[in-house]
């Protein structure tokens, strides 16, 4: 492609509302244009990246035996009512009425539609298994769309759905997809990690997320370098301390802690270790009040907590409720002296093993030190894993310690089991002529989000750094004076033709701009390989080559440039 026949439109500054680097760079490089909140046009340069991602997905999904189809974006509300998600999905489901006042949605996902197709068409175990997928535009009406394509409203997804006669066969396909996703993200050239995941609202049991690793990622991932263990922190288990609780060594004392409401401040004020503090978090389930006890430096894991009996779902107590149940204001609340008939106490496993700890005194301006279970307050009736793991925690599989990385979720595979098959009556006759519900799996990849995640993972102050597999162009030719110098123009045109003949995806930047502008644009766009052609080099038969990650350029004999590039491309 020649720049003059393409459309390159870069910006010096990103708009103010672009909060994260991928959003800023995608706008500056002209990969996307905002049409409305969370709704973007993919400009020619961005679309080239999308298409490269799509092609890799398609090749690997086909190779894995899945079959592509294309379902509609607009779906009848009836099917969502039948599955029960019309009520459950909430305002993220974009609902609308057609001209005949019939309910429709712009689909955020396609479990209902594909299950409807399969229940009409498939009657016998002999027709199973099946795995259909599509690459299709979806809509999710996010309340606060942001971060560009990372949390957009309209987005492109690869979504696949498999149907099976048995759970065993679902598990076989699930492993097949785990391996396929691993191949896909490897081919995309991204550093990623697959982690066990909470299934969230999509339902079913058994799921893994695929995350692109990036410091800016919204998700925290826990993994063990000594084993295969890897999980979203939402799900990672914090084991109980192996060391038994120490004996009480101090007596309980009430100490004044004026204006000290956070555990860290209380510890500093009293000159005691942060790890000796216990914080109490007040939550409600309907009208039932519970105090959750966590070590001061730990954080609450809402997912794990929400699965405990009597806390599904829970919400944080209001100031008025805290006042009513504990007679005290936030910042000084604690578990000592509360009425067990009104206040349930759940201690994190770590807290249950603490002695001589510090906690709120249920009196404004005061804390207690030297507190011990069984002496100053009853043993906690419930001990549970309610905290987020931290680096250095023992791995739940007993094989080492946990490390933490941050990630951006770009893929998710689920074992849905028979959830949708039962809701939509999708059944088949087994070998014995018995009717059974189909076992289902579903497998998603956020196609548009991958582009943002790739930039979050790899960029510098000059712009995007794309993996070669998905860069908008693999190589750019930057002629120094294409319009002015016939020598340069002839050499650039010849190299352009040669690279095309060698099946290398090349951009010839033949715009009539200063070299500084061309360099800056090619770096901003993130093209992995750059060849500069100037009169001085040409006199000695040399081109200048620089990789996007290289700190220096090197001169390469013109006649060796194709072999040189091919070696570079293979190495990448």
Nearer to its own copies, 144 or 243 (CB): 144
Nearer to its own copies, 76 or 547 (CB): 76
- d(Cα 352, Cα 331) in Å, to the nearest integer? 21
Nearer to its own copies, 34 or 183 (CB): 34
Nearer to its own copies, 140 or 548 (CB): 140
- d(Cα 161, Cα 184) in Å, to the nearest integer? 17
Give the count of beta carbons closer than 10 Å to the beta carbon of residue 37: 12
- d(Cα 408, Cα 413) in Å, to the nearest integer? 15
| Pairing outcome for strands 459-460 and 463-464 | antiparallel
Nearer to its own copies, 34 or 193 (CB): 34
Nearer to its own copies, 105 or 347 (CB): 105
Contact 280, 334 (CB under 8 A): yes
Sheet holding 529-533, edge to edge: 506-508, 475-479, 529-533, 542-547, 554-557
Nearer to its own copies, 117 or 504 (CB): 117
Q: In whole angstroms, how close is the CB of 346 to its own copies at the nearest point?
A: 35
C-alpha 459, offset from chain centre: 18
Residues lying near its own copies in the complex (CB under 8 A): 5-7, 9, 33, 35-36, 39-44, 47, 50, 65, 67-76, 91-92, 94-96, 98-99, 104, 106, 113, 116-117, 120-121, 130, 132, 137, 139, 141, 143, 153-154
Give the count of beta carbons closer than 10 Å to the beta carbon of residue 106: 19
Using CA atoms, how far residue 291 sits from 278, 311, 315, 345, 358, in Å, is 12, 11, 12, 5, 16
Nearer to its own copies, 99 or 539 (CB): 99
C-alpha 431, offset from chain centre: 41
Give the count of beta carbons closer than 10 Å to the beta carbon of residue 251: 12
Nearer to its own copies, 131 or 548 (CB): 131
Nearer to its own copies, 103 or 544 (CB): 103
Q: In whole angstroms, how close is the CB of 306 to its own copies at the nearest point?
A: 24
Nearer to its own copies, 94 or 359 (CB): 94
Convert 293-317 to b/e letters by CB count within 10 Å (16 or more is b). Answer: bbbbbbebbbbbbeebeebeebeeb
Q: In whole angstroms, how close is the CB of 438 to its own copies at the nearest point?
A: 15
Tell me the residue length of the chain. Answer: 572
- d(Cα 530, Cα 527) in Å, to the nearest integer? 7
- d(Cα 253, Cα 376) in Å, to the nearest integer? 10
Strands of 350-422, DSSP E: 357-360, 366-371, 382-384, 402-417
Sequence-distant (≥ 6) Cβ neighbours of residue 339 within 8 angstroms = none
* 463 burial type by CB count under 10 A (0-12 exposed, 13-18 middle, 19+ buried): buried
Nearer to its own copies, 96 or 391 (CB): 96
Q: In whole angstroms, how close is the CB of 154 to its own copies at the nearest point?
A: 5
- d(Cα 389, Cα 198) in Å, to the nearest integer? 15
Q: In whole angstroms, how close is the CB of 238 to its own copies at the nearest point?
A: 36
- d(Cα 242, Cα 349) in Å, to the nearest integer? 10
Q: In whole angstroms, how close is the CB of 10 to its own copies at the nearest point?
A: 11
Q: In whole angstroms, how close is the CB of 43 to its own copies at the nearest point?
A: 5
* 201 burial type by CB count under 10 A (0-12 exposed, 13-18 middle, 19+ buried): exposed
Q: In whole angstroms, how close is the CB of 52 to its own copies at the nearest point?
A: 13
Q: In whole angstroms, how close is the CB of 307 to its own copies at the nearest point?
A: 28
Q: In whole angstroms, how close is the CB of 409 to its own copies at the nearest point?
A: 22
Q: In whole angstroms, how close is the CB of 555 to its own copies at the nearest point?
A: 34
Q: In whole angstroms, how close is the CB of 528 to its own copies at the nearest point?
A: 22
């Amino acid at each position: 492609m020649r720049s003059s026949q393409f459309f390159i439109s870069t910006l010096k500054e990103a708009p103010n509302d672009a909060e994260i680097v991928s959003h800023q760079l995608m706008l500056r490089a002209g990969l996307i244009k905002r049409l409305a909140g969370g709704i973007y046009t993919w400009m020619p340069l961005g679309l080239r990246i999308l298409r490269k991602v799509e092609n890799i997905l398609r090749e690997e999904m086909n190779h894995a035996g899945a079959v592509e189809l294309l379902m509609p974006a607009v779906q009848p509300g009836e099917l969502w009512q039948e599955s029960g998600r019309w009520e459950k999905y909430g305002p993220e489901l974009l609902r609308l009425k057609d001209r005949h006042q019939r309910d429709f949605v712009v689909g955020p996902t396609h479990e209902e539609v594909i299950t409807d197709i399969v229940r009409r068409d498939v009657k016998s175990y002999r027709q199973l298994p099946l795995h259909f997928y599509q690459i299709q535009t979806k809509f999710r009406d996010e309340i606060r769309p942001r971060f560009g394509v990372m949390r957009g409203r309209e987005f492109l997804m690869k979504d696949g759905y498999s149907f099976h006669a048995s759970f065993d066969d679902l598990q076989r396909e699930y492993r097949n997809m785990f391996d396929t996703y691993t191949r896909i993200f490897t081919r995309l050239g991204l550093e990623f990690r697959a982690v066990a995941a909470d299934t969230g609202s999509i339902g079913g049991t058994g799921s893994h997320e695929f995350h692109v690793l990036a410091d800016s990622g919204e998700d925290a991932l826990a993994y063990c370098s000594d084993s295969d263990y890897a999980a979203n922190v939402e799900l990672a288990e914090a084991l109980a301390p192996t060391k038994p609780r120490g004996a009480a060594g101090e007596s309980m004392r009430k100490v004044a802690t004026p204006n000290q409401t956070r555990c860290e401040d209380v510890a500093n004020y009293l000159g005691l270790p942060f790890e000796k503090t216990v914080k109490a978090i007040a939550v409600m389930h309907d009208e039932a009040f519970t105090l959750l006890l966590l070590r001061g430096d730990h954080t609450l894991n809402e997912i794990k907590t929400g699965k405990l009996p009597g806390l599904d779902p829970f919400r944080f107590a209001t100031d008025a409720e805290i006042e009513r149940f504990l007679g005290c204001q936030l910042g000084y609340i604690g578990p000592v002296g509360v009425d067990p008939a009104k206040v349930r106490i759940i201690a994190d496993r770590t807290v249950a093993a603490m002695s001589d700890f510090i906690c709120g005194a249920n009196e404004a301006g005061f804390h207690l030190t030297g507190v011990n279970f069984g002496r100053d307050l009853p043993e906690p009736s419930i001990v549970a894993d309610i905290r987020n793991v931290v680096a250095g925690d023992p791995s739940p599989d007993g094989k080492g310690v946990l490390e933490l990385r941050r990630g951006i979720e770009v893929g998710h595979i689920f074992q849905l089991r028979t959830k949708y098959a039962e809701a939509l009556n999708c059944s088949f006759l087994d070998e014995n002529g018995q009717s059974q519900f189909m076992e289902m799996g579903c497998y998603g990849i956020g196609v548009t989000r991958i582009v943002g995640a790739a930039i979050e993972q790899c960029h510098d102050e000059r712009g995007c750094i794309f993996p070669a597999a998905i860069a908008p162009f693999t190589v750019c030719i930057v002629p120094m004076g294409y319009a002015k110098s016939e020598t340069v123009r002839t050499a650039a045109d010849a190299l352009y033709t040669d690279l095309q003949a060698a099946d290398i995806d090349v951009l010839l930047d033949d715009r009539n701009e200063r070299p500084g502008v061309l360099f800056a644009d090619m770096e901003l766009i993130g093209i992995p390989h750059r060849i500069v052609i100037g009169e001085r080099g040409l006199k000695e038969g040399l081109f200048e080559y620089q990789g996007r990650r290289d700190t220096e350029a090197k001169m390469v004999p013109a006649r060796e440039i194709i072999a040189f590039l091919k070696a570079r491309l293979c190495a990448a």
